[in-house]
Amino acid sequence: MNSISFETVQPVAALETLVESFWILTNETDGQKPAIVLPDGRLDVSFHFDDRQYLGLHGLETRPSQVEIGPRFRMFCISFRPLAAEYLFKSYLPLQPDGVTLLPIDFFNTDIGQFEDLRQFASLLTDVLLARITADIDPRKKRLFDLIYDSHGAMSVAELADQSGWSSRQINRYYQDTFGLSLKTYCNVLRFRSSFGHIKAGKLFPEENYTDQSHFIREIRKYAGVIPKELARNREDRFIQFSTLPPA
């Protein structure tokens, strides 16, 4: 990523069901870094330290977004698995796909200006989250998300319903009421996330359950804005998928 530094910390075992990672993105240079951020099927809360300090809750992304990473930029972030939505952000449901909801500055009961490094950030927020999660995780929903992740979004709604013990109608309503999109759309995003790793490695043919090459190209263009060949070329590292970035 040249001028951009990315570091990540994995959650403790007790948070793995709801948290995917804690991370920090920094630009230590005096120049702007244009980038295209790709969907990866996670909910993010970003901590901003500008003159107007704020927390942003990012809904599930379904399209690429162009951003400018400013000079001397620093952003701490927590990436949540979607299951965290109803246990941590219930008051804000349904979350807006491709949108950002502002959270109260004291949402995590901590001063966002006190973070010095990623380890401290992860440690402080881990304590807050462990204290905040008081309800038991619904085993059907945990099973549902485990199936979705393990299959990279390849299973049909009917298969997921059958193996999770939840009806297709209930699952689809849950997704619409919680994330503002369909389960099928979310599964397609996860399949794209998995495919991006293959494309970066130069594999320009479908490794996941796409119908054929044409279907593969259409789906990649839908979520990246370009065909697989251009995505693999990734000139100037402008395409970023945070879940697949190598840590510094």
Domains located in the chain, CATH noted? 4-132 (no CATH), 139-232 (1.10.10.60)
**Rounded to an integer, what is the distance from CA 124 to the centroid of its chain?**
21
**pLDDT tens-digit map of 18-62:** 999 999 998 888 888 889 999 999 999 999 876 678 899 999 999
**Top-confidence residue, 109 or 110:** 109
pLDDT attached to residue 28: 85
DSSP bridge pairs for 103: 55
Rounded distance, CA 61 to CA 215, Å?
20
Indicate whether 15 pLDDT > 70. Answer: yes
Question: Is residue 12 within 8 Å of residue 213, measured between CB atoms?
Answer: no
Indicate whether 247 pLDDT > 90. Answer: no
Indicate whether 245 pLDDT > 90. Answer: no
Residue 205 banded pLDDT, cuts 50, 70, 90: confident
Indicate whether 79 pLDDT > 90. Answer: yes
Indicate whether 184 pLDDT > 80. Answer: yes
Q: Exposed (0-12), middle (13-18) or buried (19+): which is 111, by Cβ within 10 Å?
A: exposed
Of 54, 51, 92, 91, the C-alpha closest to 76 is 54
Question: Is residue 19 within 8 Å of residue 78, measured between CB atoms?
Answer: yes
Using left for φ > 0, alpha for ψ between -120 and 50, and beta otherwise, residue 24 falls in beta
- Backbone φ and ψ for 220, nearest 5 degrees, come out as -65, -45
